[in-house]
Amino acid sequence: MNSSLYNATVIGKIMVTPDLMILRIDSDEPRKEFEAGQHTLLGLYGFEQRSPNSEPESHPAAPDSLIQRPYSIASSTAETRQLEFYIQQVKSGQLTSRLFNLNTGDRVFVGKKISGRFRLDETPDGSDIVMVATGTGIAPYISFLRSHIIERPESKMVVIQGAAHRWDLGYYSELTFLEKSFANFFYVPTLTDADDRWDGYRSLIEELLQQDILQNEYNITPDPERTHFFVTGKPDMVAHVSEWLHDFGYSRNSLEEPGELYVEEF
Ligand SMILES: Cc1cc2nc3c(=O)[nH]c(=O)nc-3n(C[C@H](O)[C@H](O)[C@H](O)COP(=O)(O)OP(=O)(O)OC[C@H]3O[C@@H](n4cnc5c(N)ncnc54)[C@H](O)[C@@H]3O)c2cc1C
């Protein structure tokens, strides 16, 4: 079969759970410089095997078509050739079921263009940054932190990560380590279905925000003049957090109008 559009090699695959993985690729050519928070395309042909852990496709892919989807880059902007992605398997999906069948050394397509407006560099220096995520929405924040935390000691930076179980908290160790290492960084994981050994938060993200956790625990004001919010993940969480922020005067950042609320919809 013709796989002529493949232009990168898998160099790492870490299974966080059977349906969540960190995938590292080495592209044949370095990409242009990019900004933390941006995304690019990954692709595989329809003839590739689907993972044993997948379910029948809702729309079967044509064998000779290159299935392409966008993925946020989790790695630092310092590296333009080796890129890291954090991917959830949609069991009946076309691309993720095939990505989950990849192994180290396999070939894959990676887009030449890296784009997106979900970017930390658009926020003013010194502003506080709140990053809210469920699921793989944490990926762009890992790139923010790996790329820029050292340069922004004057900004308070908070990651609020929501998940069902402890094992769904990808990057937990790295985020916990960053919290111990940087006085201006705070990590707030919250679980909705935690076991007895979990001593952290157990509320939905929107409930934590409504309980004024930012103001009370971290002295961060939801004030568009001082604090910028990034929100990505489950659509209902994104909608609830956005509504809460609108009441404080936040407006959504877009190409047409700058705003202090950045939303990435997966
Ligand atoms: C800017 C951007 C950045 C993205 N970054 C990431 C990322 O970092 N990591 C990541 O895993 N995904 C990311 N996505 C989503 C990704 O592009 C694909 O949509 C996703 O991986 C599903 O692709 P698929 O081909 O397997 O499923 P498809 O065959 O495209 O979809 C099958 C069905 O599943 C539904 N579906 C899609 N995603 C999900 C989901 N997560 N849970 C349940 N149902 C779903 C679709 O609506 C569709 O009906 C991003 C999307 C965008 C637009």
Rounded to an integer, the average pLDDT of 194-203 is 95
Q: For 86-137, what is each residue's pLDDT tens digit? A: 999 999 999 999 999 999 999 999 999 999 999 998 899 999 999 999 999 9
pLDDT band at 3 (very low <50, low <70, confident <90, very high): confident
232 pLDDT tier (thresholds 50, 70, 90): very high
C-alpha to C-alpha distance for 228 and 130, rounded to whole angstroms: 6
* Closest atom of ligand 1 to CA, residue 69: 17
Domain with CATH 3.40.50.80 in the chain: 120-264
Provide the CA 134 distance to its chain's centre, in angstroms: 9
39 C-beta closer than 6 A to ligand 1: yes
Please state the atom number of ligand 1 nearest to the C-alpha of residue 118.
Answer: 1
Mean pLDDT on 254-263 = 93
Could you tell me the fold of the domain covering 120-264? Rossmann fold (3.40.50)
* Ligand 1 neighbour 241 (Cβ under 6 A): no
Between the CA of 96 and the centroid of ligand 1 the distance, in Å, is 8
Residue 186 is predicted with a pLDDT of: 98
Which has the closest alpha carbon to 246: 216, 222, 220?
222
Give 8-110's CATH code, choosing from 2.40.30.10, 2.60.40.420, 3.30.920.30, 2.20.25.650. 2.40.30.10
Residue 70 near ligand 1, beta carbon < 6 Å = yes
Which spans in the chain are helix H? 96-99, 139-148, 172-181, 205-210, 213-218, 235-246
Query: What is the tens place of the pLDDT at every residue in 65-79?
Result: 999 999 999 999 999
Percent of the chain with pLDDT over 90: 95
pLDDT of residue 1: 66
Q: Whose CA is nearest to atom 42 of ligand 1?
A: 90
pLDDT of 24 reads 98
Model-wide pTM > 0.85: yes
**pLDDT(53) > 80:** yes
